[in-house]
Amino acid sequence: METLSRSESIIYAFDKNHEPIKMISSGTTIRIETFDCFQNQVTSEADKIEQLAWDQTNPATGPIYIEEAMPGDILKVKIDKIEIGSQGVMMTLPNEGTLGHRLTESTIKILPIKDDHVFLNDIKLPINKMIGVIGVAPKEEAINCGTPGPHGGDMDNKMITEGAILYLPVFVEGALFGLGDFHAAMGDGEIGVTGVEVEGAATVTLEVLKGETIEQPLLENEEVFTQIASAKTLDEASRLATELMANRIVQKTGRSLAEVTMLLSAAGQIEICQIVDPLMTVRFVLSKSILTQYNTKLI
């Protein structure tokens, strides 16, 4: 199996001008190591937030060049395994996140991780290992790793976890794939700006799909098929995700837009991924038990 160490190359933006650190062929499985979102700068609750190098946050390990990938293709990312460290970091900051206007000072918390749980003082929380930043290089100018978009990026979607398959549009030759910003646990919204930030490693299988295009990332797991979308507001992101999901079902099934609208209104779910990044991210979720009745696959 191929491997990529976090010490080999990290990026702070998805950029078509980056030189790839590794070249692989479609279908390759690779284990990728990552720093946490603070690049492992925080090691103690006594650390001073003011002393952090904020230009070294949200690093992704990469970029990886997939030899067969060309603009207009789809990069299929199967998340085989996520490994995480033995402790995580959370912090709160004045004027950051949904409740930041009520906070007057910064706080750092180190959270032990043991036996599939995270410990917040005396409260035991189940782990939910997930990848916050994952994506490819955009077609135009570079996009920092803290911003989501059609290329992926900082979607902070808790469904991006073991067993999921993420589909990303390819904009440049080789795709230039990277990932980082793991969480041991994170709720929908990530309302405090941080989840339980943690270092780790992901084993993923990268496969190029030809003959079909997508506008924004898609995700599926054993239970659901989802359309992800990011926009300036939750309303805009929700409309975009709904439109794209409806378009795909109409295209793949041949059913009328009226029927698909009824289907999505009766059985679809709009769910928030995150509300604290420069763009908001949502997912439109539909059960595979419903989609299988159409006897067709959406991708």
What are 154-207's pLDDT values in tens digits?
Answer: 999 999 999 999 999 999 999 999 999 999 999 999 999 999 999 999 999 999
The residue-averaged pLDDT of 80-105 equals 97
Residues 105 and 134 in one domain: yes
The burial class, CB within 10 Å (0-12 / 13-18 / 19+), for 215 is middle
For the chain, percent of residues with pLDDT exceeding 70: 100
> Which residues, 6 or more positions from 180, have their beta carbon under 8 angstroms from its beta carbon?
10, 34, 35, 37, 58, 59, 60, 61, 131, 132, 133, 134, 145
Residues 128 and 231 in one domain: no
Kindly report the three-state secondary structure assignment for every residue of 206-238. Answer: EEEECCCCCCCCEEECCCEEEEEEEECCHHHHH
pLDDT at 2: 96
d(CA 201, CA 85): 9
pLDDT at 212: 95
pLDDT at 250: 98
β-bridge partners, 11: 60
pLDDT at 153: 98
Residues 282 and 164 in one domain: no
In a domain, 299, yes or no: no
Which backbone phi and psi does 205 adopt, to 5 degrees?
Answer: -110, 125
The number of distinct structural domains making up the chain is: 2
- Which strand (E) or helix (H) includes residue 38? none
Residue 239 has pLDDT above 90, yes or no: yes
Residues 196 and 119 in one domain: yes
| 189 secondary structure, DSSP code | B
pLDDT at 84: 98
Does residue 31 sit in helix, strand or coil? strand
The residue-averaged pLDDT of 244-271 equals 98
Residues 15 and 160 in one domain: yes
pLDDT at 50: 86
Residue 296 has pLDDT above 90, yes or no: no
In a domain, 94, yes or no: yes
Residues 200 and 247 in one domain: no
The residue-averaged pLDDT of 234-250 equals 98
What are 23-37's pLDDT values in tens digits?
Answer: 999 999 999 999 999
Please give the structure tokens belonging to residue 285.
């979720």
Residue 8 has pLDDT above 90, yes or no: no
Confidence of residue 273 (pLDDT cuts 50, 70, 90): very high
Radius of gyration of the chain (CA): 19
End residue of a domain, out of 188, 209, 230: 209
Q: What residue numbers bound the domain in which 272 lies? A: 218-294
In a domain, 83, yes or no: yes
The residue-averaged pLDDT of 236-248 equals 98
**Cα angle value 152/158/162 (rounded, 5°):** 90
The residue-averaged pLDDT of 256-266 equals 98
Average pLDDT, the chain: 97
Residues 151 and 69 in one domain: yes
How many Cα atoms sit within 13 Å of 124 on the Cβ side?
A: 4
Confidence of residue 242 (pLDDT cuts 50, 70, 90): very high
Please give the structure tokens belonging to residue 65.
């060049």
How many Cα atoms sit within 13 Å of 246 on the Cβ side?
A: 17
Residues 29 and 82 in one domain: yes
Residues 188 and 227 in one domain: no
In a domain, 27, yes or no: yes
What are 137-160's pLDDT values in tens digits?
Answer: 999 999 999 999 999 999 999 999
Residues 168 and 276 in one domain: no
CATH number of the structural domain spanning residue 45: 2.60.120.580
In a domain, 144, yes or no: yes
Residues 117 and 149 in one domain: yes
DSSP β-ladder status, 22-24 and 60-66 = parallel
CATH number of the structural domain spanning residue 230: 3.10.28.20
* Angle formed by the axes of helices 234-253 and 257-267, nearest 10°: 130
Contact status, residue 136 vs residue 150, Cβ threshold 8 Å: no
End residue of a domain, out of 191, 209, 227: 209
End residue of a domain, out of 189, 209, 229: 209
